[in-house]
Structure 1
C-alpha cells in the first residue's frame, strides 16, 4: 500500500504521519515541495499507467494521497520571494499555476483509479471561501460571530461601534489576526481598505480550542495556548491539553463538518463555560504540536483512514 504525502517535508506532521502509516503496514512516500520548482523530474503521460515524480510510479500502486493543501494550492506565494525579484511577478504566477495544474490533475488521476484522495480537485481551497463558508455555517444553525467582509471604511466604523472590539484578518490567507477597538479607529489605515476586502469579526471571549473532524465526526479536540492572545492555531503551541467538548459544541463542529466539502479538517473555536463561537473551518490543518503534547492523536486517525 503506497501512500503519497505531498508538501514541505520539514513539517513535523510528515514525520508523525509517515511513522503512523508504517506502523499500519503502509509505505509512505513523500513528495517534498520545499524546493519546487526544481530539477526533480515530473512527468504526467496522458493515458499511461505511470507517472514520474523523481521516480516512476504505477498509478495503480498508489492507494492513498494526502496533500498539505496550503503548500501547493494556496494563493500566497511568499515562498517564491526570491523568484519574484529574479523573474518578475507575471512569470512567477505562471510558474506556480503550471505546477498546481499538474498536481491538481494527479490527485484527480489517482482518485479516478480508486485511491483514497484527501482534498481532490474542487475542495483544495475551502479556507479561501470565508464569506461563503461562514454564510453556510450560519444557515446550518452553527454559532458563528457576527462577521462582515468589506472595503468600506464607514461600514467598519459602524461594525466596531456596534461590537466594541473586533478581530480582523485577510479574507484568504493564514496570516495571524489582529484586534481593533473604537480607540484604535483614529490610527487605523482604513483608507487602504480599497486595495482589498478585509474580514472583520465580532470578538469572541473564551479559551482557544481546535477540534479535528474526519468524515463528519469529531476525532480529537485540544485546548491550546501560544502566548497572551492567539485566536488561531498556527504552528507551534506553548501548551495543549485534551478537552471534552460539551454536547452543543460538538454538535456545531459536526454540523460544520457536514456542511464543508472536505473529509478532514479542523474547526477553530472560542469556548467559555456556557458559550462558544465557531470561527472558521480549515482544510489541511496543522496538528503535530497538539499530538506531541498528548492532546490528540490525529496522525493515527489519518493513518487509519489512509491505510484502510
Structure 2
C-alpha cells in the first residue's frame, strides 16, 4: 500500500566473507525477518547515507546498490567484523586519511546512534572491552578466578615475576597483524618463557606475562544475553588450542553457578550482550579466566553446538524486547 513503511529490519554490520554472520543471517532468513547487510568499508564507493537530525531525533536512510533501510526502522544491530573505513581511490595520502576519519566518525556515529535499536554488541562497548588488562581487572572484581599476571615494559621486573611465579607464558595484549619484516602475516602464539629468555627487548613496549595454569582442558563459554553455552575443549597439542583445530574434541558442559554469576556481572560491567570467554580448567575443576573476546568467533564448532548459538542470536536480534535473560 502507498505510504506503508517497511517492517523493522536487522542490520548486520560485517564484511562479505564473514561466515559467522552468514549462519545467523540464514536463521533470520528462515524466519522471514528482513536483514540489511552493510560493510562500512564499502563506503563511499557502494554505500550512501543521508541522516537527518533535529527535534525528532535521528532519521534518514542507508542505501547500497540493491537495498535501502530506514534508520528509524532498524530493530537491532548485529555488529560483527566490518572492513576498515576507506576513501575514494587516487586521493593524496593526507586527503585519504582525512576522508577515512570523516567516514569513521560520521557514518560510524550514525551506526552507533540508531534510535531504538538493540545492539549485539554496540561497537563502542566492544572497543572498551577489548583491553586485556581491563578484562582481567573487571573479571577479578566480578569474582572470577584470574591467573597471576604482570603487564610491564621493565625487563628486570618481568624476570623476577617469571622466577617467582614460574612457569609463566607470554601473551600479546592484542592480536594485531604482524609480518615480522616479511610479506606473510604471522601469528604470535602463547608461549612459555624462561626468565633467561626475557631480554632488553621487553623495554620496547608493553608485554604481558602470566602464570602458566596446569590445566586439564580448555573451556570456551559463549554467552548471548542470559544464555550460556559452555564447551569443553580437549586434545590441544600445546598451550594454545588455536594451533591445531583438527586435533580438538568438544563436549557440551554446564557452567558452574559461581562462574555463571561472575560472567553475568562481567558483561554488565562492560555493557555487553555477547561475549566469548576463554577459561582453563584445572584438575580440581576450577575455571580460570584467560580472556573474553567481546566479538569472538563460534561458528567453527560442530553443527550441534553452532546451531544453538545461532538460534540464540537470531532470537535476540528478531525480538529485542524478549531477550531470554532468565
State the TM-score, normalizing by the size of structure 2: 0.76
1:51 & 1:197 partners in 2: Cα distance?
Answer: 43
Change (3 A) 1:225 1:299: same
Task: Please point out which of 33, 38, 55 is paired with 1:31.
Answer: 38
| Structure 2 residue aligned with 1:303 | 314
Alignment partner, residue 186 of structure 1: 196
User: For the Cα contact (< 8 Å) 1:137–1:144, is it kept in 2?
Assistant: yes
Query: In the TM superposition, what whole-angstrom CA distance separates every residue of 1:185-207 from its partner, at most 9, and x where no partner exists?
Result: 4344x322233212211112321
Aligned match of 2:131: 129
Aligned CA distance change for structure 1 residues 122 and 59 (closer, same or farther; 3 Å)? same
The verdict on how the C-alpha distance between 1:95 and 1:150 changes in structure 2, with shifts beyond 3 A counting, is farther
- Does the 8 Å CA contact 1:218/1:250 hold for their aligned counterparts? no
SS in 2 for 1:124: helix
Write the distance in 2 (CA, Å) between the matches of 1:176 and 1:255: 30
Q: Give the drift of 1:233.
A: 5.6
Say whether 1:281 aligns with 2:292: yes
**How many aligned residue pairs are there?**
290
Counterpart of 1:169 in structure 2 is: 171
Q: Is the 8 A contact 1:224 1:239 kept in 2?
A: yes
- What's 1:9 paired with? 16
Out of 72, 81, 99, the residue aligned to residue 60 of structure 1 is: 72
Query: Which residue of 2 is the match for residue 45 of structure 1?
Result: 51
Q: Could you say if the C-alpha distance between residues 251 and 299 of structure 1 is closer, same or farther in structure 2, counting changes exceeding 3 Å?
A: same
Displacement of 1:251 in angstroms is: 3.5
Instruction: Determine whether 1:102 maps to 2:115.
Output: no
Cα gap change, 1:97/1:166 in structure 2, threshold over 3 Å: closer, same or farther? farther
The CA distance in 2 between the partners of 1:252 and 1:176, in whole Å, is 29
Q: Is the counterpart of residue 115 in structure 1 residue 121 in structure 2?
A: no
Which of 191, 199, 208 pairs up with 1:199?
208
2:305 is paired with a residue of what secondary structure? Answer: coil
TM-score by length of 1: 0.80
Structure 1 stretch 256-265 or stretch 98-107: which is displaced more? 98-107
Where structure 1 has 5 or more consecutive residues not aligned to the other structure, the ranges are: none
Deviation at 1:173, TM superposition (A): 2.9
Q: How big is each residue's C-alpha offset from its partner over 1:126-152, in whole Å with a ceiling of 9 and x where there is no partner?
A: 343222221122122211111111111
Q: Measure, in 2, the Cα distance between the counterparts of 1:122 and 1:302.
A: 19
- In 2 relative to 1, CA 254–62 (structure 1 residues): closer, same or farther, beyond 3 Å? closer
Which piece of structure 1 moves more, 141-150 or 97-106?
97-106
* Offset at residue 22 of structure 1 (A): 1.9
- In structure 2, relative to structure 1, the CA distance for the partners of 1:245 and 1:130 (3 Å cut) is same
CA distance 1:18–1:163, change in 2 (3 Å): same
1:154-184, CA deviations, whole angstroms, 9 ceiling, x for partnerless residues?
11101111122222222233665422332xx
1:152 is aligned to 2:154: yes
CA distance in 1, matches of 2:97, 2:249: 38
Residues 172 and 207 of structure 2 are in contact (CA less than 8 Å); yes or no, is this contact kept in structure 1?
Answer: yes
SS at the partner of 2:251?
A: strand
Q: Kindly indicate whether the alpha-carbon contact (under 8 Å) linking 2:144 and 2:259 is maintained by their aligned counterparts in 1.
A: no
**2:298 and 2:306 in contact (8 A); partners too:** no
